Structure 1
């Protein structure tokens, strides 16, 4: 990057780092939307970390890994479609990002729990698709 560009961005970077949202006391729609987006990002980050752990355990079984990838892609499509539908009553409104983010966060948290169960599989459990360690 060009040094002048970095200098121009510096105040923005420090401002955004210094500005912490008070999500417990959010009183305006923009802040509530931002807080919901942060919660969604945190749930997604946890989901991705668990997904990586599962794919690592499936490295010796490429067929199972393909099934996981296919299932996850289908799940993401379902989640997005479900939340689009769920928030459709407020489409175009200022509350839409909040409703949509809350929906995706809740569904992502449920998927996180599923992944955590997969990672708890005991060796020899034939009902579990992820080998135990």
Structure 2
């Protein structure tokens, strides 16, 4: 098989079929924002939009939903009144903890299925993917 066919098949697995360890986790919208906030603690709405590579209008909608659910708190920046600063609430931190536990459980089951050697290879290749992204995209 050529690389283009392999890449197409893998892209379909990621987006259409969802690999078993990411199925039902949906780290694209609200959950991605929660995970980002868990790491960064406090960021601007613009930083979130840049990280997720989506419009600030889309982020505004997602943040409004998260705020209604009591998972985040939005405040105005003290240094720049045009900026909205976002951080997790206690409820948001608890939600992140549950999401992380769920992800770890799914990955653990996936790694048990793969076995030790395939898991090591999977992790080695995942590291190479991160290096590639860093090299090509300066992230």
TM-score using structure 2 length: 0.30
Per residue, is there more strand in 1 or in 2? 2
TM-score by length of 1: 0.31
- Structure number with greater Rg is 1
Higher relative contact order (CA 8 A, sep 6+): 1
More helix by share: 1
